[in-house]
Chains A and B, each alone.
Chain A
Amino acid sequence: MTKKKAHANWTMSLLAVVRYELLWNIRKKKIIGVLILAFALATLTLALPIVLNNINNLPTEPNPDYVITTGTGLGGFGFFLFALVSVMNSISGEFESGSIIPLLTKPVSRTTVYLGKITAAFLTVLGAYILLTIYIAAGGFVIYGPQNNLHLVIITLLGSILSTAVWMSIVLAAGSVSKSSMLAALLGIGVWFGLNIASGILSAFSDQAWVMTYAPGSGASGTLGSPRPINQTIAMNGGVSTGTDSVASNLITYILNSTAEVTFFRIELRGGGLGFIRVPSYTESLSLVVARSLAVAIVYILVFNFIAWYALKRTQVAE
């Protein structure tokens, strides 16, 4: 006679899916490749100033803020790449290969399957970022001496994860709806490049840069501090991006300088030999910039995850 068994409890089912997905992620050539690339770039970030200083016979000055300002060593494109390789085929790839059929016919709800998959993707990215942060911190300590505010590294990690999660949600939704890894990747790349180009143009040439603060990615570019003179030359020192990619750095800046303001400029062509000049457009408090980018990131994560989950929940597997 068949033996009666208890229904797997929800946690056990979720952990089974997480295990299923994690074993895939750690064996994905794409993920291993991006991790190697990230470490190579981190090494370059650490070593390049020393090399340049040596070439120019300059001493390498101690920099106690190096680690906290460098973070994971990843920029917006790094977040996007990690998001892309960790989720671009976690749902669509299963549909393409047909392995979704045995998975969805197991006694696990589709919601649990979805949660397991995003948990595994989250853990994969978290693991990679922890390794990168430790690497940067150790390298920074060796090269630039003792570091300040190391307790804020956790903010760097959480912020970076949140920034990555925005892109993960977008790519996951595209994959879950289209059932095509290629389409998910292309759409993600298209959105990333499109927004970056639009952000640069809008920030530079119009008063409408604020629109970009509601888009994922780099957002609008501003300058930290009070409005500067109207004929100021373009300088990116103290630059702040308002987008979801900058949550970590903006949070750190806010914690270290809670009263800071961000001024947004546009570029104007002036006659009389003045050429291109930066014109202050508007100013906001950094606290508002941080709060808004956090809220925007969370909204994107919720909305796109809902789309991805709903598509998986409702989909019929005919092939």
Chain B
Amino acid sequence: MSMAIETVNLTKRYGHLTAVDKLNLKVNANTIHGFLGPNGAGKTTTIKVLVGLLRPDEGVARVFGEEVSGDKPEVRLRIGYMPELPKFPKHLKGTELLDIYGRMYGLSEQQRRDELPKLFEQVGLKGRENDLIGKYSKGMQQRLGIAQALLGEPELVILDEPSLGLDPVGMVEVRELIKNVVNEGMTVFLSSHLLFEVQQVCSHVTIINKGVALVSDTIQNVENKIKGPITMQIEVTKLTEPIVENLKKLAFVTDVKTEGNLLEVLFETSEDIRPQVSETITNAGGTIVSMNVNKHSLEDVFVQLVGKAGETLGSEKK
């Protein structure tokens, strides 16, 4: 699989503060890759290096194999970037801005005529495209930010906190939009401090803290990296001793706790064990009323990796 983003020992300092510290990041093409970390972790600094706004102090950053350090318009042609809380010139109308940006991306007049109305509709700004941006709310500017990042169908879309400033409906719409984007063959690099957002939208994730990448893999693999048993809560019509004994005999089960008709089964495996557990209970004469698996979440991984720093991390669920 080709690499959309690659950094090798990327380091960026602001005076004595090391914002990004020897970061090695790999983002495969055609994936939605989450970039998760608490505030001040170095996410935006890394992104600003990738889009050419900052120069690295050490190391290398590449986009589709090309180094990004310095003023490289040919690399930026392949990138659509939405900054965190984007600000646009207030004197321009929404449609004027996208038209001008479209020209910068080399879109012909016909392409701009075709693409702009679609983008405004996609991001929910239809009917407001001829208003001055100065009259847009923060949420509308955020939507315009997403629209301009998708302009010209870039190969790599970098979104820095795309849900910030959006209302709950807008947040859901943005997540759906991002999922659709990758269907069209783009790579999305999504920076967020919202665990839920990354978990819902991304296939891969890199967790960063204090400028250092702590883990980078698929969401599934990252969740599996956490140590300790997973719990399964089962409610049966009548709890009997054979049910408990037979469950304890299963190889992956580490412990079984009981309370009334409730069973809590602790196990250590990443495989789906529900069929085996169900069969064991049924064979022991039990009848299952409900079964819930409490798998390790990204949040668990994050808390384990980042510790107290994770307290600043949002876990807002919409």
Q: Is the CB of A317 within 8 A of B100?
A: no
A228 to B53, CA, bound (A): 62
Interface 0/1 of A65-76, CB less than 8 Å to B: 000000000000
Q: Is the CB of B74 within 8 A of A105?
A: no
Query: Within the complex, what minimum Cβ distance (angstroms) separates A26 from chain B?
Result: 9
Number of B interface residues at 8 Å Cβ cutoff, please give it: 42
A12 to B14, CA, bound (A): 36
For residue B78, which residue of chain A has the nearest CB? A107
Q: Does A97 contact B (CB under 8 A)?
A: yes
Name the one of B52, B77, B79, B100 contacting A104, with C-beta atoms under 8 angstroms: B52
Query: Within the complex, what minimum Cβ distance (angstroms) separates A11 from chain B?
Result: 11
Given contacts A24-B92, A28-B91, A108-B104, 18 further A-B contacts (CB under 8 A): A2-B155, A6-B106, A7-B73, A8-B103, A16-B104, A17-B104, A101-B53, A102-B81, A105-B53, A105-B76, A105-B81, A106-B73, A106-B101, A106-B105, A107-B73, A110-B71, A316-B53, A317-B54
Binds A, one of B119-127, B146-154, B258-266: B146-154
- Chain A residues whose CB sits within 8 angstroms of the CB of B45 once the complex forms: 318
Q: Is the CB of A27 within 8 A of B91?
A: yes
Would you call the interface of chain B mostly helix, strand, loop, or mixed? loop
A70 to B185, CA, bound (A): 64
Which residues in chain A, 85-136, are within 8 Å of chain B measured between CB atoms?
94, 97-99, 101-102, 104-112
Query: Within the complex, what minimum Cβ distance (angstroms) separates A47 from chain B?
Result: 34
- Chain A residues whose CB sits within 8 angstroms of the CB of B100 once the complex forms: 16, 19-20
Q: Does B25 contact A (CB under 8 A)?
A: no
Name the one of B71, B81, B88 contacting A109, with C-beta atoms under 8 angstroms: B71
Which residues in chain B, 83-108, are within 8 Å of chain A measured between CB atoms?
83, 85-92, 96, 100-101, 103-107
A111 to B72, CA, bound (A): 11
Interface 0/1 of B184-215, CB less than 8 Å to A: 11100000000000000000000000000000
- Chain B residues whose CB sits within 8 angstroms of the CB of A20 once the complex forms: 89, 92, 100
Q: Is the CB of B155 within 8 A of A7?
A: no
A23 to B92, CA, bound (A): 7
- Chain A residues whose CB sits within 8 angstroms of the CB of B73 once the complex forms: 7, 13, 106-109, 112
Q: Does B296 contact A (CB under 8 A)?
A: no
Q: Does B23 contact A (CB under 8 A)?
A: no
Query: Within the complex, what minimum Cβ distance (angstroms) separates A141 from chain B?
Result: 37
A109 to B96, CA, bound (A): 20
Which residues in chain B, 136-181, are within 8 Å of chain A measured between CB atoms?
145, 148, 152-155
- Chain A residues whose CB sits within 8 angstroms of the CB of B5 once the complex forms: none
Q: Does A15 contact B (CB under 8 A)?
A: yes
Which residues in chain B, 44-71, are within 8 Å of chain A measured between CB atoms?
45, 48, 51-55, 71
Query: Within the complex, what minimum Cβ distance (angstroms) separates A176 from chain B?
Result: 15
Q: Is the CB of B87 within 8 A of A101?
A: yes
A5 to B83, CA, bound (A): 23
